Structure 1
Amino acid sequence: MDRNVEEKGKLDLLEDNRTDSGIDSFRSLTRDDRCSTTSSVPDPHEQDKLSTDERLDSSYGSSSLTSESLSDLMGKCSVSGTRAEHTVEYSEEEANLLATVTEDGDTFLHLAIIHEVETFTHQLINLFPKEILDIQNNLYQTPLHLAVYLNQVPVVKALVANGACVELQDQDGNTPLHVACEHGRFECANEMIRPASPSMLTTVFETQNWRGLTCLHVATLHKRHRIMKLLMKKGVNLNLQEGTSGKTALHMAVELHDVDAVSLLLKRGANPDAAMLNGCTALHLAVGRQDATITSSLCQAGADKMIRNIEDETALDLADGNDDILALLPFDDIQIMGRTVGLNF
């Protein structure tokens, strides 16, 4: 396949998520202007500080920016240094690499990842300070977001090893781990999770995107069972509720009729009686959807058939008229003061 055609196809994947994309001109920023990344949303007042004097034309316009031109730039620049923890002297070429940002907010590291110039990418990772590794473009994507999206496992590993933040969120509120869960990037997810401290993992696992979804919710919605197992192995809270209706991953798996995910979640200890904001448990959803297989699994896991939702309905009420489901919900017990009492005749 022609190299240009192949490269265009890869870029089209990213362009679907971009607006007014184009890199016809660049703006140059000092290191101090771009090193504050404590928030995932840049301070709009900082943008006002940029004057027209700080903008420059570039020979790497959108029509000429290719992997070959980036490779040419690599050959002209002495990017053999390593990332410094303290103050360091940069050559003029290295300083330009650090300071250049496109109209889309992309650094040369963003561009090297997009164009899959792997050697150059790794040299930039070694050269750039941590703060610049975490620069977000106009879509709030860090280089780590892009590397995960494009499934560049060695780049993800190098970024994480050099201190790239795994907690920053893009314009949809997704962390790089959300991206991995959505697109099934298991190896990328593993590289981000493996070296992380328990406290950082808890923070990342509990982070919701702007739809209220945690990484486990996203993995469940996209039936990424292998990634679900990875998150479970690292101690993700299986009963986390999403932010709009209070669904747990178990509720979502039931809605999808995903028998494997339901079985996996129950086996790993998910609470079968966790209720949504409307009071519905997973059993309410399974019975309402007339899913006998999942209803049976929930009953075997000890799901309470008498919990009432906000409409004052139990799972038994919802099963009325469906003999197959009713057969799974026997009437051989009653509850007194919240305790199940068996009846023996």
Structure 2
Amino acid sequence: MSRSGGEKERKFEILDNRIDSGIDSISLSRDYGSLDSSDEKDKLGTEERLDSAYASSSLTVDSLGDLIEECSISKCERTTGCEYTEEEVNFLTTVTDDGDTILHLAIIHEEQCFAHQLIDLFPPELMDIQNNLYQTPLHLATYLNQPKVVKDLLEKRVSLELQDQEGNTALHVACEHGFLDCANELVHNASPSKLTNVLETQNWRGLACLHVATVHKHHRLMRLLMKSGVDLNIQEGTSGKTALHVAVELHDVPAVTLLLNRGANVDAVMFNGCTALHLAVGRQDAPIANLLCQAGADKMIRNMEDETALDLADGNDDILALFPFDDIQIMGRTVTHLRTCT
């Protein structure tokens, strides 16, 4: 196929037969179809990846290897005027029963060299195809910790904002599994506006990326998100917790310290009116309660149950020592200002 402007001719050949109606039309169809768990290992071998939702049983490693051998792709410099043959379009757009394109499958089976070739070949409008679980190739490359593939995809300007069936963006996935290299590629190759949208996006559990990193105690990822301008006080969607609330609930002193040092609002309240200090005192966590008090936590804030943090101390001497006793209380309520009658 000749290209205008002296572009190199690129041959795209599939031996034996041409793909016209889907991947199943390839002569390797004997290897397709669901695998029973009893013979899964025999057919796939020890190197096969079947990571719950992030794998496809419709193609084995052996058959993918055969497919790679059948495909001959020589590089060309793509331009906006570059055209594709009908066979190429069919090949790139066909999907398995799981909704995976050949690019999804190359990433799933960790055939990174082939994935790089396909990324160069795929037109931009096909790079964000989502499979039946709403996973894009970017989701899969991130889940399988393939930062070089992630970088290649981002250079083709794929979408960072698409969400999988759990509402996770690719950055959510990186934050959940602690894949710092993939997260680095995701945040450094995103435009500021797109990155802001991703950092504010909540998955279907209401968690933004900072919440996810905090939940899984991935402190280095938390730092990366902070350097990327994440809102430290962003609230999750179900109860209004900030990352500080989450860290306190997990008794995660390093995360609490990190968030406070970076300027998180120590008095941020959940939907029920509880501050981080309410949570620390209610969980009898004196060290974290002390950190919060040192950061200037307001001890008199009342939640929707009309309780201050002191009301929740429940006789814990270490925590009670953090609260002054020189205030006057009438019927359990602190009186901070008295008017003198004359």
TM-score range, shorter chain: 0.7 to 0.9
* 1:5 is the counterpart of 2:41: no
Identity, % of aligned positions: 69
- The answer for the alignment partner of 1:222 in structure 2 is 216
| CA displacement, residues 155-211 of structure 1 (integer Å, 9 cap, x when unaligned) | 011111111111100000000000000001110000010122221111000000000
What pairs up with 1:228-267 in 2 under 5 angstroms? 228-267=222-261
Structure 1 residues 332 and 201 mapped into 2: Cα distance closer, same or farther (>3 Å)?
Answer: farther
How much has 1:326 moved relative to structure 2? 0.5
- The answer for the alignment partner of 2:98 in structure 1 is 104
Structure 1 residues 18 and 176 mapped into 2: Cα distance closer, same or farther (>3 Å)?
Answer: closer
Structure with the greater alpha carbon radius of gyration: 2
What pairs up with 1:33-44 in 2 under 5 angstroms? none
- Out of 126, 130, 135, the position equivalent to 2:129 is 135
Q: Tell me the secondary structure at the aligned position of residue 132 of structure 2.
A: coil
Distance 1:301 1:82 in 2: 59
Please identify, of 303-312 and 86-95, the stretch whose mean Cα deviation from structure 2 is larger.
Answer: 86-95
Letter in 1 for 2:325: F
- The answer for the alignment partner of 2:267 in structure 1 is 273
What pairs up with 1:160-309 in 2 under 5 angstroms? 160-309=154-303
Structure 1 residues 86 and 295 mapped into 2: Cα distance closer, same or farther (>3 Å)?
Answer: same
- The answer for the alignment partner of 2:5 in structure 1 is none
Consecutive unaligned residues in structure 1, runs of 5 or more? 24-61
Distance 1:88 1:333 in 2: 78
Does the 8 A contact of 1:71 with 1:120 survive in 2? no
Letter in 2 for 1:165: S
Does the 8 A contact of 2:234 with 2:242 survive in 1? yes
- The answer for the alignment partner of 1:327 in structure 2 is 321
How much has 1:120 moved relative to structure 2? 0.8
Structure 1 residues 74 and 334 mapped into 2: Cα distance closer, same or farther (>3 Å)?
Answer: farther
Structure 1 residues 18 and 125 mapped into 2: Cα distance closer, same or farther (>3 Å)?
Answer: closer
Q: Tell me the secondary structure at the aligned position of residue 330 of structure 1.
A: coil
Distance 2:327 2:182 in 1: 49
- Out of 108, 115, 119, the position equivalent to 1:121 is 115
Q: Tell me the secondary structure at the aligned position of residue 228 of structure 1.
A: helix
Does the 8 A contact of 2:50 with 2:57 survive in 1? no
Distance 2:240 2:179 in 1: 26
How much has 1:18 moved relative to structure 2? 6.4
How much has 1:4 moved relative to structure 2? 4.8
- The answer for the alignment partner of 1:76 in structure 2 is 70
| CA displacement, residues 285-328 of structure 1 (integer Å, 9 cap, x when unaligned) | 00000001000000000000000000000001111422111001
Does the 8 A contact of 1:106 with 1:137 survive in 2? yes
Given the two structures, how large is their TM-score scaled by the length of structure 1? 0.79
| CA displacement, residues 48-90 of structure 1 (integer Å, 9 cap, x when unaligned) | xxxxxxxxxxxxxx4xx32x43343334334334574534322
Q: Tell me the secondary structure at the aligned position of residue 47 of structure 2.
A: helix
Does the 8 A contact of 1:207 with 1:214 survive in 2? yes
Letter in 1 for 2:46: E
Consecutive unaligned residues in structure 2, runs of 5 or more? 1-41, 330-335, 338-342
Structure 1 residues 324 and 107 mapped into 2: Cα distance closer, same or farther (>3 Å)?
Answer: same
Structure 1 residues 85 and 296 mapped into 2: Cα distance closer, same or farther (>3 Å)?
Answer: farther
Please identify, of 96-105 and 107-116, the stretch whose mean Cα deviation from structure 2 is larger.
Answer: 96-105
Given the two structures, how large is their TM-score scaled by the length of structure 2? 0.80
Does the 8 A contact of 2:202 with 2:236 survive in 1? yes
* 1:313 is the counterpart of 2:313: no
Distance 2:215 2:157 in 1: 30
- The answer for the alignment partner of 1:17 in structure 2 is 53
| CA displacement, residues 5-50 of structure 1 (integer Å, 9 cap, x when unaligned) | 3323xx221xx2269x642xxxxxxxxxxxxxxxxxxxxxxxxxxx
How much has 1:93 moved relative to structure 2? 4.6
Q: Tell me the secondary structure at the aligned position of residue 122 of structure 1.
A: helix
Q: Tell me the secondary structure at the aligned position of residue 126 of structure 1.
A: helix
- The answer for the alignment partner of 1:58 in structure 2 is none
